[in-house]
Structure 1
Amino acid sequence: MKLLLSLLERLTCQHFFTVLPTSAPQMAVAELVKGVPWIFSGESVHLKCSVPGNVSAEWRYRWFRGGEQLQESEYFVLWKARPQQSGKYYCQGLRTTWISTQHTLHSLPIEIEVDGGWAILQAPPLPMLVGETMTLTCRVRDNPRLTEVILYKDGVELQRQPGPELRVTNLTLQHHGSYWCRASWDGRRETNSVISEAAPVSIIEVLTEPVLEIVPNDPLIHEDRMLLVCQVQLNAREPVPHIHYYFYQDGLSLGPASSQDRVTVLRDSGQYWCKASVPTLGLKRLSEPVPYGRVTGEHSEHMRNQKRIVVRQSPFRMRHNADQWHQFS
């Protein structure tokens, strides 16, 4: 009888545990709540760890730098930091239930740079967009009253200002590079001057140049048709505007503007390209032409000339009859 009860108990437990729902592990979030990522030695930063959507849950938090576990707490304070404490900091949430201890995925890292020098050029940590204005700040240890700040890019002087803030307006891709600053101030008997370490600045286009992909054998469409895909990236601030897509063959439009980045067309030889337009930003870009089937060199040169004037075509003209253009769905 005892053996029978033991087997029944074991089977019941196994059945119970197999029906428990499982979910993908969550990711912890590490954030900088006080201070800046690039600090002077002797300064402090405050970090916080959390698990989104679990305010009432009894989570504990572990902090790491690289592969080293630091401490277990919700907040982590780098107090009077030293240069040796520079690195990537991240956290993990964990909680103990009646079944087991659950662990979240590690958070994305926050990189803290502790500078032992006298000057720091604070630059945007994320890429800036073409056309925007960038503000750079030349910080000097102990905050003396500066008399002159010089901004350099890739070894070339860009501007001089009496204060620590430097602004670069109407950014272009040519502004991508390494920046540093030289700050000067008057001491008791002499003028002091210090130079910061170089800070990288990344500039990206709002709308990249489209790339047209021709997929002649897509299993989801009819065998006498092929798929055109217009690949483009929109790097815009919130709210993100909509992209309008246009497709062309041999200088003629294959249909009206669409919010879809792909269309299906009859399989036919010719030169194809696409256009991406963002009307709210006044932007439009054309892809390079892509040949399909038998296209002669003379035909290719003619199509390159057609590409230059295709933007001015309005209203659109169908390449074939109205049944030929189909949006991909």
Structure 2
Amino acid sequence: SDQWVILQTPLQPVFEGDTLTLRCHFRYNSHITRVVFYKDNKEIQSQADTELSVDRVSKSDEGSYKCTAWWLYSPYSGDSAEVRVSVRELPQTTLTLEPPFPEIFTRETVTLRCGVEGGSGGWRYLWYKDRQGAPVHQTDRSSGTGAGYTISAAALPHSGEYWCRAGRGANRLTHNYSNAVKIQVSGE
């Protein structure tokens, strides 16, 4: 492309609650002195910063974005192409048990699996026991990797109610809790 100014957007789609970061680049690495960002052809930000950040995006942030940049020692400006940003509702998470029996004996193995509607790319998972907001205590006998949480040698204290939650990005969990799954561990 012969476009001098490039608007860089994150992978699409963006999910509700994510942070949307747009960057305006000049192809030849010149020092940009001013950038104007537009959404649906309306100016939304004008400054020296080449980055536009929208926290906790919602459906209303969906639209066509572009930027105009001015650079050092030049009276001219350049426009990027328009880029469409789609914002999707957060998918549901579903917690299931493998094998699908809520009553198990001590020393048996069971895996809780957290499924995100529409695929698993880019999600991280947290696991909760007995109450929402209380992360499970991970030990050598129970650990969460990716979308699975495995209890490899069930003991009586593993009995209880479990939830999972999926999030995106480094810090923020943007997702609702899954359905609850109850596990009952019995002595043999």
TM-score scaled by length of structure 2: 0.50
Distance 1:167 1:127, change over 3 A: same
Say whether 1:184 aligns with 2:67.
no
| Equivalent position of 1:207 in the other structure | 91
1:206–1:235 Cα contact (<8 Å) kept = no
Distance between the aligned counterparts of 1:238 and 1:284, measured in 2? 14
Distance between the aligned counterparts of 2:8 and 2:48, measured in 1? 17
Instruction: Give the root-mean-square deviation of aligned CA atoms.
Output: 2.9
Q: Which amino acid aligns with 2:176?
A: L
SS at match of 2:32: coil
2:15 pairs with one of 111, 129, 136? 129
Say whether 1:283 aligns with 2:143.
no
Say whether 1:196 aligns with 2:80.
yes
Distance 1:155 1:278, change over 3 A: farther
Distance 1:235 1:155, change over 3 A: farther
SS at match of 2:11: coil
Distance between the aligned counterparts of 2:10 and 2:30, measured in 1? 23
Distance 1:279 1:166, change over 3 A: closer
Distance between the aligned counterparts of 2:88 and 2:165, measured in 1? 19
Cα deviation, 1:224-250, whole Å, max 9, x if unaligned, reads xxxxxxxx93777422468xxxxxxxx
2:69–2:78 Cα contact (<8 Å) kept = yes
| Equivalent position of 2:52 in the other structure | 166
Distance between the aligned counterparts of 2:126 and 2:87, measured in 1? 20
1:123–1:200 Cα contact (<8 Å) kept = no
Equivalenced residue count is 112
SS at match of 2:67: strand
Question: Unaligned 5+ residue runs, structure 2?
Answer: 93-115, 128-162, 167-172, 179-188
Question: Unaligned 5+ residue runs, structure 1?
Answer: 1-114, 209-231, 243-276, 286-329
1:143 pairs with one of 9, 14, 29? 29
Distance between the aligned counterparts of 2:19 and 2:80, measured in 1? 22
Distance between the aligned counterparts of 2:59 and 2:44, measured in 1? 16
Distance 1:207 1:118, change over 3 A: same
Distance between the aligned counterparts of 1:160 and 1:118, measured in 2? 19
Say whether 1:233 aligns with 2:117.
yes
Larger radius of gyration: 1
Cα deviation, 1:171-224, whole Å, max 9, x if unaligned, reads 00111111100001232xx5221111001112111136xxxxxxxxxxxxxxxx
Deviation at 1:119, TM superposition (A): 0.8
Q: State how 1:264-283 maps to structure 2 within 5 Å.
A: 283=176
Cα deviation, 1:104-139, whole Å, max 9, x if unaligned, reads xxxxxxxxxxx2121110111321111111111111
Q: Which amino acid aligns with 1:238?
A: W
Larger strand proportion of the pair:
2
1:148–1:183 Cα contact (<8 Å) kept = yes
SS at match of 2:60: helix
Larger helix proportion of the pair:
1
Q: Which amino acid aligns with 1:148?
A: R
Distance between the aligned counterparts of 2:40 and 2:27, measured in 1? 24
